[in-house]
Amino acid sequence: MHPLGLLQDTPPGRNAVWAGIALLSMLVWLGLEQLSAQLWFLPAGLRLALLWLVPTRRWGWLGAAEIAAQATKSMVLGYPLFSMTFVGVCIAPWVIYAAVVFVARGPQPGLALDTPTRMLGFLLAGLVGAAGVSPLLWMFLVTVPMNAVDSLASMFAFMYGDMIGQLVLAPVLVALAHGRMKPRRLAFWRDMGVVLVGAVGIFLLLQAYDDLAMYVLLLAFAPLFFLGFRHGWEGAALGTLVLGAVIQALVQGGLLSVSVTMLQLVLAVVGAGALVLGAASTALRHSHEVLAQRHQELATKNDELGALAEELRHVTQRLVRIEEQGQRELASELDYELGHAIHALGTRISLAFRDVRDEQGTRFLESLREQVREIQDSLRRALRQLRPPMLDSHGLRHAIDNGPLREMLEDGNIVFEPRFTGPVDQLDDDARTAAYRICQAAVREAVRLDTVRRVALDLEVTPREGGGQAVSLNLDIEFSPYARALPPLQPLPAIFDRVLAEKGRYQLEPLVHGQRHAIRFDAT
């Protein structure tokens, strides 16, 4: 099972598992206590990490483990267990840390330190805990009379020991629990080697020239920022641990004569800064990964939408072709059925004039023949609206300039001003039909409105180098300047469907006293 799953196992029961965790924690605490020295107090890091990772309801096991470890140490050294010193040194520090962590993160276990805010909260909890424990340790462990300055210095020494123990151990333990300490890549170890070589070189230089400490000591710790920036807070945590171990080894070997307090202070400041910078770098890296994933998802959705739009265009194009074919067949059937019948009726009425001798019968036949002529004219107009024959016989230019569109506008006392540019009549059947139907929709809209006084049409066809033509069609509908209310600027569904079928663009542009329907599409 994952370590984090064990530590955050909140359901009731499972006491045997937690007893084992408490026993392991006690043994680790005793081992870390043996490794502690003047530079650091490592159990403070273990205490902070476990309190941060474990839910509040399981803290009793952590407290029991640390108190048992303290009791074991006291019995080995011959210290009494039932005394105020044992309570103040061995029990109260854990209680203070627990209270601080509870205030910092609440009853639920803390999350991974992947943001600067979480990292700052984690480090601040450790700092406040160390600051709260140091007066207790000074009160019970320091028995030599001291003045105020020496007392403060002693308290700060206890606090620095806890802080360094937290910095070098707690972030590494949190990273291990969250599974962030996977085998590092070669680039990390190369950077770590450069950092260590530089730090050891500076420490050896200070051993030979200790007067340079105030000038170059910070340079030995500054590369931790580099590790945090390149490898996140996990890299900064591991670098702080390794660099702290190197410093401890040099101090114990007598190869570093710099004051331990100065080393603690610089390591605390630089280590905390590197961890916060690493958390910010990790957060930025995660945000970039999430953004890249969102971009990939968006690209996939765009491809799907593009495929659906293409399919919709094909469907619309097929529907338009079916509609045109239906209109052609309907016009042909109406012309064949009704046209011939009406023509035969007119012929019979003309023949009936020979058999009628009275004036009343003649007037009646004249009225019938006039009605037949009106019916023929209406049928001819209807057939030309369905599919004007001149569009197939004379071309698009003639069908627009001299066909039913002009007749409709002239009947409505609307000025029609067409203009053609380029090889208009060389368009294929689909593009020619689309252009005509678009013009027809605009003309119908102009006739329907009472305030229109002029319709200007500008059709331009431009051949392309790679083949095909670019069709540009501007339809300007101009209203009377005396109109009190102008119609709203709205796209026409008939034009929109035709433009969609041709994979074109349809834009509406307001004019001073009118509106422009601008259409662009490509023809093969």
User: At which residue do the structure tokens 């702290």 appear?
Assistant: 244
- How many alpha carbons fall within 13 Å on the CB side of residue 523? 25
Look up tokens 């002239």; give the residue.
410
Which run of H or of E encompasses 96?
A: helix 92-105
Superfamily of domain 390-523: Histidine kinase-like ATPase, C-terminal domain (3.30.565.10)
Q: Is 275 helix (H, G, I), strand (E, B) or coil?
A: helix
| Overall pTM surpassing 0.75 (yes/no) | no
Report DSSP state, residue 6.
H
In a 10 Å sphere around its CB, with 0-12 CB exposed, 13-18 middle and 19+ buried, how is residue 11 labelled?
exposed
Helices and strands, counts by H and E, the chain: 19, 5
Spans of the chain, pLDDT less than 70: 1-3, 9-13, 324, 328-329, 331, 335-336, 354, 356-357, 379-387
CA torsion sign for 63, 69, 74, 75 is: positive
Non-local CB neighbours of 271 within 8 Å, separated by 6+ positions: 167, 168, 221, 224, 236, 240, 244
pLDDT value of residue 515: 92
Report the alpha-carbon distance of residue 62 to residue 25 in Å, rounded. Answer: 8
- On whether the CB atoms of residues 417 and 454 are closer than 8 A, the answer is yes
Return the pLDDT at 418: 92
Residues near 15 by beta carbon (within 8 Å), at least 6 away in sequence: none
DSSP alpha helices (H): ranges in 106-178? 116-141, 148-177
What is the model's pLDDT at position 13?
61
Q: Which pLDDT value is given to residue 17? A: 83
Sequence-distant (≥ 6) Cβ neighbours of residue 404 within 8 angstroms: 381, 384, 385, 388
Domain borders along the chain are 21-181, 297-366, 390-523
The predicted structure's pLDDT at residue 212: 75
The Cα-based distances of 81 to 30, 75, 89, 96 in angstroms read 17, 8, 11, 20
The distance between the two most distant Cα atoms of the chain, rounded to a whole number of Å, is: 152
